[in-house]
Chain A
Amino acid sequence: MSGPIIIVRNLYHRYGDFTAVDGISFDVEEGEIFSFLGPNGAGKSTAINVLITLLKLQEGTATVAGYDVAREPQKVRESIGVVFQEVTLDRDMTCREILEFHGRLYRMPPAERRKRTDELLSLVQLENKRDVRTKHLSGGMKRRLEIARGLMTRPKVLFLDEPTIGLDPQTRTRMWDYIKSVNEEGTTIFLTTHYMDEADNLSDRISIIDRGRIVTTGRSYDLKNTLGEDLVYMETDHAERTRAALGEMAEVREIQEKSRGIVAMLSGDGTKLLPKIMENLSARGIRISVVNLKKPSMDDVFLHFTGRELRDERSEKPSQAVSNAGSR
């Protein structure tokens, strides 16, 4: 196959009069790790549910692994693996049975099923839990088993909906390693997350999604670079004059006002520019009380493009409530 493995154009999805996905278009290239980054309720899960054929496509077009989501859902299902946001393991089945059941659902021949089960249990280091029921597994083990299940059929694309939600930091880092190693074996990965560090660490490319729209798409490095090379935060005794002074400097790309201070995005190396800035300000008689220099983070990127903090979850409402309500 040539070209992108996922192509989405003008996708809309509405629940009643609430628009959860508001006209998104994007491509995912074969072999990459692609992230949807956004707060809860941004429409990430809805978009993923349309792509994996659990929700009917309402408007727009989407192809996954070369198959049209609306017209060939069966083919799409055969080409993908899914790890859902919540744990979806039968508490009373053993790890082996979970994988066996999944393999049977996808019509894998028995010999291949057994071989794959062994391979995957060792990949996610659950060999010694083979005949243990899933209710006795830890949160991280459950997640690993679900990832193994998602990989059972050697899918072309693995969809991961919030793969590390509710896991402790150590387990999360380990989970990232598993995801990376799966990707290195050639599986394209599409993941949604509301963790900046997760998107930053894992993905080749990120789409920032907010209120049903894609705000921007790019490589993590490029996204951060749009904010300049470095950020300077300062608090002074005269905000307006500080702004004016900074605005005259060629190396200052953009200025943002904060509640108490000012953030300047620098186009050059901040370590060299900072002394110059401070000299310039004191020459004008402006007293600096606080200075901080830092590299832009994904948090800054999100804030820059959406005007809101990612932690700001005021927008959280419909998608969660609707998806928990089940069928209608």
Chain B
Amino acid sequence: MTMYLGFLTIFWRDMIRFYRFKTLLISSLVQPALWMAFFGIAMSANFNRLTTQIPPIPGVPTVDYLTYMAAGVIAMTTLFTSLFGGIVILFDKNWGLMREIFASPLPRNHIIFGIALSGMTKSFIQAGIIMVFAIIIGAQFFAGYTIMQTILSIAGILLFVGIFSLGFLFLSAAISVSLESPEGLQGIITLLTMPIFFASNALYPVNAFPPFLQAISLVNPLTYLVTGIRYFAIGDNFQAIGIHYTATPASIALAFFFLILFALLMFALAWWRFGKASVT
């Protein structure tokens, strides 16, 4: 027998629910677009006005703020969706549905894989929507790329989004299986998202951060995701808000490696928590 694909069963069920809860489906698709439409346009108008004073660095292509922050919105949406992705485990536990699964021969790590796969799928869908919407409202993604380069860049973005979402989905699954109530999860997620989101380069450069914030941003997976997305969507040499951004394949590989490491650590955490969990 070939590789056992039991996690696809968990994936299948979670996708049925995703599709069936129309409000959830629609809000999760519309919400990132709303971020782009309101926050993006408002902030980029401000930033563009403020940065007219700053003399551009000669010989480096300039990107506007909308383009700059669109990468951050993709990252932010992936973060939120992934952190909430494990909540289904908590609901299943509370409603007793997890007992059916725990009493079945399905290995427990397949529950983790299944939830991670469906969470990742949702993130891919959302990232795709934001990219299309961002380009429609004027973000200069893939400017001057050939079709082949564009396809490769999209693949690169999805690779980064995928591995990043896995890490936070594992974390979310680990928290969910350890908790008793959805309210607790809500609280923990709020506590986690603040530092992760704001101590990152998603919406503004980290260069002017005080040292301790810079330190956080250096171990912050979100920073590495945003760096990856910008590299693929904008390029390896550009300036935005007066800051000169450069990247090399090696630095991007390092960022990717960091995200893999994070995902592996979070998987170990989830594995441990699932091993401890008892559902009766």
Contacts and interface: CB of A to CB of B under 8 A. Distances in A.
Interface of A: 45, 49, 52-56, 74, 77-78, 82, 84, 86-90, 92-93, 97, 101-102, 104-107, 149, 322-323, 325-328
B104 interface: yes
Contacts of A77: 103-105
Contacts of A90: 13, 17, 95, 97
A49 B99 CA distance: 10
Given A74-B105, A82-B100, A327-B278, 15 more contacts: A49-B280, A55-B280, A77-B105, A90-B13, A90-B97, A92-B17, A92-B21, A93-B13, A102-B104, A105-B106, A107-B4, A107-B6, A327-B93, A327-B177, A327-B276
B105 A106 contact: yes
Contacts of B101: 105
Given A105-B100, A105-B105, A326 B180 contact: yes
B12 A88 contact: no
Contact of A56 (B99, B106, B178, B278): B278
Nearest to B273: A327
Contacts of A55: 278, 280
Contact of B180 (A82, A101, A149, A325): A325
28 contacts: A49-B280, A54-B278, A55-B280, A56-B278, A74-B105, A77-B103, A77-B105, A82-B100, A86-B96, A87-B96, A88-B95, A90-B95, A90-B97, A92-B21, A93-B13, A97-B13, A101-B9, A102-B100, A104-B9, A104-B12, A105-B6, A105-B9, A105-B100, A105-B104, A149-B100, A326-B93, A326-B180, A326-B280
B25 interface: no
A286 to B, nearest CB: 56
A121 B118 CA distance: 29
Q: For chain B, what secondary structure do more than half of its interface residues adopt (helix, strand, loop), or is it mixed?
A: helix
Nearest to A81: B103
B16 interface: yes
Contacts of A54: 99, 102-103, 278-280
Contacts of A52: 103
Interface residues of B, number: 31
B20 interface: yes
Interface of B: 4, 6, 8-9, 12-13, 16-17, 20-21, 93-97, 99-106, 177-178, 180, 276-280
Contacts of B21: 92
A328 B278 contact: yes
A101 B13 contact: yes
**Shortest beta-carbon contacts, A-B, top 8:** A104-B9, A105-B104, A88-B96, A77-B105, A327-B278, A327-B277, A323-B280, A49-B280
Given A54-B102, A105-B6, A326 B95 contact: no
A151 to B, nearest CB: 14
Contacts of B20: 92
Nearest to B21: A92
A164 to B, nearest CB: 18
B49 to A, nearest CB: 48
From B4, B16, B95, B280, residue with most partner A Cβ within 10 Å: B280
Contacts of A106: 104-105
A77 B103 CA distance: 6
Nearest to A53: B103
Nearest to B92: A90
Contacts of B9: 101, 104-105
A90 B20 CA distance: 12
A97 B12 CA distance: 10
A93 B16 CA distance: 8
A95 to B, nearest CB: 13
Contacts of B17: 90, 92-93
